[in-house]
Chain A
Amino acid sequence: MEHPIKKVMIICAKANIEDVYAALVMANGAVMEGIEAKVFFTFFGLDAITKKRMKKLHTATTGNPGMRMPGGLPFPTLLGILPGVEAGVSAMMKNQMEKLDIPPVDEFLELITAGGGEIYACKLAVEMFGLKKEDFSEHVKDIITIGQFYELAAGEGTQIIFT
């Protein structure tokens, strides 16, 4: 007998474009399938739901062995440190995603919440970074503790995913 996934609890702790989008695509994908989805943003992941920062996410051009030049050649780490390179690469990535109909972060949050998904900020990280409720996107439902996160995870068929 199959046991379908009923709920996913997704944790995003990083601010890189790829980490944030992994969390958002998984959450939205769940909602699209009729699976309950809750996303918990913590530490640097908070950037993705902070109004001032959510539109300026970057991908790392140094210390990222998967990085390639447009033709497929390895991307020299020293090139990655030059001013503007990271911003340029990040803009290119966002451009590619837009072509695939992957929305910008704020619109993605809207898509997820329109389908009944919920977005949360981690209380501990919020306090650590000195942020307030009003610093966050309107799509953030609440600032919660890890204990509340586990309470929300209750029920059969829940999976907790750390991106």
Chain B
Amino acid sequence: MAEKTYAGKSVNVTEDGYLTNPDDWTKEVAVEIAKEEGIELNEKHLTVIEFIRDKILKGETLTIRSIGKSGIIDTKGFYDLFPGAPLKKASKIAGVAKPASCV
């Protein structure tokens, strides 16, 4: 556990940098986490991130496949938006826990 300051707000994060409390999340916080990941957030990113937050906070598990089928974005688009490790990066920016799925 560590403490970080995003958008003038002090928040607790895990060793990997995921917010420990999803309620600490705001759009401003997201913009700064994204910057650390080398991503300049735009509307499309935010749509995906809000989708992820919504599902995860409802207790659902997400996979790259399920996001690719969500109708919000296809798999390739998801990889393009969050290059490298999309599910991890998007979850981190969305202020939810590190994804634990294998697919």
Binding site for B on A (CB under 8 A): 25, 28-29, 32-34, 100-103, 107, 110-111, 114-116
Contact = CB atoms under 8 A, between A and B. Distances in A.
B103 A114 contact: no
Contact of A111 (B64, B83, B85): B64
Nearest to A29: B102
B65 A116 contact: no
Contact of B84 (A28, A34, A110): A34
Contacts of B6: none
Contacts of B75: 110-111, 114-115
B17 interface: no
Contacts of A29: 102-103
Interface centre among A28, A100, A103, A115 (most CB of B within 10 A): A115
Given A32-B87, A114-B68, A114-B79, A102 B74 contact: no
Interface of B: 61, 63-66, 68, 74-76, 79, 83-88, 101-103
A115 B103 contact: no
A30 to B, nearest CB: 10
A101 B86 contact: no
B85 A33 contact: yes
Given A33-B85, A114-B79, A100 B64 contact: no
